[in-house]
Amino acid sequence: MRPRSLIAREYSPADLERIANAFLVGNGRVGYKGTREEHGKEERSVFSLIGTYDQREDKWREPINLFDPLPFRVETALGTIPGREALHREFRLDMRHGILYRKDVYEDIEVRTERFCPYGGGLHLLQKIEVRARKETKVLLSSFLTTDIHEINGPHFPEKSLSFLEDGSVLASGITNEGRKVEVILHEEGNHERRPFLEKERAGYLYEAALRQGERILLRKIGEARIDGEIEEEAPLSYEEARRRHLFSFERAFEEARAILPRKGELQKGIDHAVYSLLILGNHRKATSIPARGLSGQVYKGAIFWDTEMFLLPFFLLTDQEAARLLVQYRINTLPGAIRKAREFGFEGAFYAWESQEDGVEGCSLYNVTDPKTGEPIRTYFADCQIHISIDVLHGLMEYVRATGDLGILDEGGKEVLREVVRFYKSRASLKEDGLFHFRGVIGPDEYHELVDDNAYTNAMVRFEIEDAVSYLRKKGYGGIPEEDLKGWLRFARRIHVPKPGKDGFIEQFDGYFALEDVKYREFRKRIEDPKEYLGGKEGKATPTRVIKQADVVALLALHPERYSPEVLKRNLRFYEPYTEGGSSLSNSMYGLLSAWCGELGKAVRYMRESALTDIRGGKKLFAGGIYIGGSHPAAMGGAYLDLARGLLGARIKEGKVRFSPRLPEGMRGMRYRYKEGGVPKERKF
């Protein structure tokens, strides 16, 4: 069964955000949001790049957006695009081939475009434009490269210029505030005479033609970016050849990572979209990892969060271990940054950045949200206290090692990550009178409750992950870390206080959580006056209550079900559900995973579906306090995949071998699941 394309026929302003995110194209290095070519910075059109950041004065440091090579304008006697009403319009994302098509029909002309970023390729964005006459008409088409781009905390290019190269290509060049040289070169080929034009912020070509019915102007454009003059990969010489290769390789990657359900429908569409969205984030070129908002721009400062290890890595481990290795490599490369951060906060070892940029620079501000009413910054403690990030990094590294058996990565910097992470927690822990180590003043995954003591997720993850790592390394006879050290790690881990289930089976999210006001989210939400209101932190309305932002205890149980009895898993799932806002797109999938462990399969499928359809449906929060947080949701895509592969199929990868222990609901029986084992594509029918 072929995947259905994703189609949008309307493009109303209210739907813009949704379509822009759901219809993204990309290749793990660069991407372009699903906006129309005549959109610009007002609509947050973005040609995005992963991994090159810049800071303007004292504003937030964020990734740069690239100069935009896609825009065009079309004029005929009947009007101008933008500005004309189409008789019919369609945006079609061919998820199987990783290409976005647009078709607009007007009375006198039909405009078609396509765009893609070559799969596995470098910093390239390709576009074809076709303007076909439906009746005899004169057409003036201008196609250009613009330096007038959307930026959240810019401008990032105090210096920028446009010019033409000898071969007729257009060059946009800029120097960032941090002194990086950024260039975008637009190579364009058309089937008509053209005249160059150069204005303040745009340069390109005008094509003027008197077309008879059926005749067309056809342009093929290749946009190429270079950072500091580096050619990451030569731009393709031929559009059609690059297109052919892209279609072939994307289709192969997509087909080899698909799950084909017995029935078409919303769930299949969601799973296909999740697989598509993850594929456009994988890269085989640079260890840049995957920002929380993927390729959709500068939100969250283009930073890498725990999202990568906990939600995205499982997909790559099952479908593309080369890309998975680069994600882990990123954390190895950024270890010096984590060591620096620990020192700055007065600790030892490696305290990974909560919002990690290149070199492990902490992108998270101490005032990370603002009050939407007053615009005043609100002190948040994500950077200083969300300490679970380091253990999540360790978890990711060990998951990779256990899945691939690639102990070599430990000798390439991995063992230093393990050692420094353990050292960090030792220095961060406080020894109490009970003789146990406690973590005080932290933030768990539920970010609404800050500076809490003994967050169950944090404490238990530190203990369990260290224990599991030591046990695996011993079993494998890995000699890179002396036995004495491993013993010391274990001694420490075993003395960490892990909040236990009470008589009723409930695990307290942190010390004092049960004493908070017992109001369920359904009731609580009536107290919200402004949808942009920040509910957490010192003044937040959720703070004195049990209302939580996202899965916290539930995340712990979903990740370590083997440590708890089935009864405890069930009781906590039921207990925490009504208090959970689900404000973070990371939440649903953890509830889905735990539901699967509890055998509540209908519920597991519902959560998985919600997660998978996050970007297709849109409607997620656009603001945290006064800060814009829109964009795509890679972790929701990865989380949906996790629910499917691990939760419902029970997929476990051990040293390259994948084993399944399926618990599929009736309606999903007969599904065909595709994955890779030791790099070899496989299919299993369940």
Query: Which stretches of 352-482 are DSSP H helices?
Result: 382-385, 388-404, 408-409, 415-428, 456-475
Of the candidates 59, 63, 58, the residue with the CA atom closest to the CA atom of residue 46? 63
- Choose the stretch contacting ligand IFM; rule: CB under 6 A; options: 256-264, 302-310, 504-512, 574-582: 302-310
- Choose the stretch contacting ligand IFM; rule: CB under 6 A; options: 197-205, 259-267, 298-306, 422-430: 298-306
Q: Which of residues 641-680 bind ligand IFM (CB under 6 A)?
A: none
- Choose the stretch contacting ligand IFM; rule: CB under 6 A; options: 193-201, 303-311, 612-620, 676-684: 303-311
The residue behind tokens 């011993």 is: 474
Minimum CB separation from ligand IFM for residue 638, in Å? 11
What CA–CA distance (Å, rounded) separates 250 from 241? 14
Under rule CB under 6 A, how many of the chain's residues touch ligand IFM?
A: 10
| β 202-211/657-659 pair status | unpaired
Nearer to ligand IFM, 94 or 307 (CB): 307
Q: Which of 445, 499, 582, 630 binds ligand IFM (CB under 6 A)?
A: 445
Minimum CB separation from ligand IFM for residue 620, in Å? 11
Minimum CB separation from ligand IFM for residue 427, in Å? 24
Under rule CB under 6 A, residue 352 binds ligand IFM: no
| β 181-190/109-116 pair status | unpaired
Q: What angle in degrees, to the nearest 10, is found between the helix axes of 415-428 and 335-344? A: 10
The residue behind tokens 């656009």 is: 622
Any idea which residues carry the catalytic annotation? 447
| β 6-8/657-659 pair status | unpaired
Minimum CB separation from ligand IFM for residue 424, in Å? 19
Q: Which of 94, 307, 465, 533 binds ligand IFM (CB under 6 A)?
A: 307
Nearer to ligand IFM, 125 or 586 (CB): 586
User: What would the two tokens of residue 407 be?
Assistant: 């102990």
Minimum CB separation from ligand IFM for residue 513, in Å? 18
What's the Cα-to-Cα distance from 183 to each of 146, 171, 464, rounded to whole Å? 12, 7, 47
428 touches 472 (CB < 8 A) = no
Nearer to ligand IFM, 219 or 627 (CB): 627
Strand order in the sheet with 72-76: 79-81, 72-76, 137-146, 202-211, 195-198
Nearer to ligand IFM, 487 or 621 (CB): 621
Q: Which of residues 143-202 bind ligand IFM (CB under 6 A)?
A: none
Q: Which of 327, 586, 605, 608 binds ligand IFM (CB under 6 A)?
A: 586
Q: Which of 250, 254, 305, 675 binds ligand IFM (CB under 6 A)?
A: 305
The total of other beta-carbon atoms located within 10 Å of residue 583's CB is 21
Q: Which of 32, 91, 157, 306 binds ligand IFM (CB under 6 A)?
A: 306
What CA–CA distance (Å, rounded) separates 413 from 504? 44
What CA–CA distance (Å, rounded) separates 560 from 563? 6
Minimum CB separation from ligand IFM for residue 682, in Å? 31
Beta bridge partners of 7: 92
Q: Which of 137, 334, 455, 584 binds ligand IFM (CB under 6 A)?
A: 584
Amino acid at 454: D
Q: Which of residues 276-295 bind ligand IFM (CB under 6 A)?
A: 292
Q: Which of 594, 635, 640, 651 binds ligand IFM (CB under 6 A)?
A: 635
Minimum CB separation from ligand IFM for residue 310, in Å? 9
Nearer to ligand IFM, 307 or 358 (CB): 307
3-state secondary structure 108-173: CEEEEEEEECCCCCCCEEEEEEEEEECCCEEEEEEEEEECCCCCCCCCCCCEEEEEECCCCCEEEE
The residue behind tokens 């920002």 is: 291
Q: Residue 431 class from Cβ within 10 Å (0-12 exposed, 13-18 middle, 19+ buried)?
A: exposed
Minimum CB separation from ligand IFM for residue 518, in Å? 24
Minimum CB separation from ligand IFM for residue 28, in Å? 18
3-state secondary structure 296-351: CCCHHHHCECCHHHHHHHHHHHHHCHHHHHHHHHHHHHCHHHHHHHHHHCCCCCCC
* Complete DSSP assignment for 529-585: -STT---STTT-TTTTBS-BSS-SHHHHHHH-GGGS-HHHHHHHHHHHGGGB---ST
Residue ranges in contact with ligand IFM by CB under 6 A: 292, 300, 305-307, 445, 447, 584, 586, 635
